[in-house]
Chains A and B, each alone.
Chain A
């Protein structure tokens, strides 16, 4: 149990997926204009990454390893993730229109998020078992959500600030991300 908590904290805060590993930057910079959309995106990412890390870990352990096909991991994982996102979208549409309405719009965007494939590959390189993989996926996605919601909060405030003309738009967002990355470096001592 203690080990799992360490994995979750490690992947959520110490090695934050966006701010120290630079995965999933597109949605982080693109969908972080409003807190509400950022939180929605975060929720969808938590769901997809947790399920996909369970699925990829199972496939790696029970299909690829017994058949000695470990080298096919990249191809298999990307297909699994793309199919999973499509499948989740269809299922949600059918059984829970309410949830689909709040998460559905973010789902197509998630296939375009390299954090999902990144987590699946990290799980394999670190030789995590099924439970550890799920914990790592969940932690990573929580880290993503924390980062994107904080970012959205800051951007909402910054909208009314007096920013030098040439820093408006992308540059100020990147400076903010840099400062956040510095703050998150402080977590390095936690574990």
Chain B
């Protein structure tokens, strides 16, 4: 039981993929124009992450080391396709707003990062809850960025108007540049407070790519994990 709680705490607080590890930047910036989109993307990613972690952990002794990356990618891509078809069938509204970013979950570094650094080395139950924790952490990250952008950019939260008529919405925050500005502010505040985050920690984390996509400038970074793809 302890292990499960620890994994979930780790995913949401200690190694939050959005705020601490700074993984999966493409969806973080692209779909957070509203809180609803953020929650949709976060939960979709979580479902894929839980399933892929479980299966990869189950197969960790079967998959040969040399072809593990291609094998992981095929597993992840299968689950993404399944989730995509389910969304298309049952939640067409979510499917339409997230669009191309659903198939692109395949190349989200959170999923391959967790497969490589956790699920491939640990038993099934902890791996599954690692997926739940990381997925919830990602959902919390995307939703809070979404709430912030929606509040400033249109004066609403989840489509409900919360600001009075006196408030003049700064529309730029729900458009593309706003995403960059919000993330810039976030990282600047983290730097100021010296909060633990991939953008201001020098030492390398245990993740395949150093865990830090955003300032990854190592040319050999793809060399280590050739077939690994991330956004």
Give chain A's interface residues, CB within 8 Å of chain B: 19-26, 29-31, 33, 37, 71-75, 78-79, 81-82, 86, 105-114, 117-118, 121-122, 125, 165-175, 177-179, 181-182, 185
Contacts and interface: CB of A to CB of B under 8 A. Distances in A.
B104 A118 contact: yes
Nearest to B226: A108
Contacts of A118: 100, 104
Nearest to A168: B191
Given A114-B229, A117-B104, A166-B191, A78 B77 contact: yes
A93 B231 CA distance: 26
A125 to B, nearest CB: 7
Given A22-B179, A31-B217, A118-B104, A111 B192 contact: no
A74 B103 contact: yes
Contacts of A170: 184, 187, 199, 214-215
Interface in B126-143: none
Given A23-B26, A75-B78, A178 B228 contact: no
A181 B100 contact: no
Interface string B186-215: 011101100000011000000001000111
16 contacts: A22-B30, A29-B214, A30-B213, A31-B219, A74-B77, A82-B70, A106-B219, A108-B222, A109-B219, A111-B226, A112-B209, A112-B221, A114-B104, A166-B192, A171-B187, A174-B183
Interface of B: 25-27, 29-30, 70, 73-74, 77-78, 80-81, 84-85, 99-100, 103-104, 106-107, 109, 172, 175-181, 183-185, 187-189, 191-192, 199-200, 209, 213-217, 219-223, 226-231
A26 B109 CA distance: 10
B201 to A, nearest CB: 11
B215 A30 contact: yes
* Chain A contact surface mostly: helix
Contacts of A172: 184
Nearest to B103: A74
Contacts of A121: 100, 103-104
Query: 9 closest pairs, A vs B, by CB?
Result: A178-B180, A108-B222, A174-B184, A22-B30, A171-B188, A166-B192, A114-B231, A181-B177, A75-B77
A121 B184 CA distance: 29
A81 B74 CA distance: 13
A23 to B, nearest CB: 6
Contacts of A114: 26, 104, 107, 229-231
Contact of B222 (A21, A112, A177): A112
B183 A169 contact: no
A40 B105 CA distance: 27
Residue of B104, B172, B176 with most chain A CB atoms under a 10 A cut-off? B176
B184 to A, nearest CB: 4
B227 to A, nearest CB: 5
Given A82-B73, A111-B222, A112-B228, 5 more contacts: A30-B216, A75-B78, A75-B81, A112-B107, A171-B184
B47 to A, nearest CB: 15
A73 B103 CA distance: 9
A74 B73 contact: no
Contact of B187 (A73, A81, A111, A174): A174
A108 B184 CA distance: 28
B180 A177 contact: yes
Most buried by A among B100, B189, B209, B223: B100
Given A169-B199, A185-B176, A86 B214 contact: no
A111 to B, nearest CB: 5
B166 to A, nearest CB: 26
Contacts of B26: 22-25, 114
Contact of B217 (A30, A165, A185): A30
Nearest to A31: B217
Contacts of B220: 108
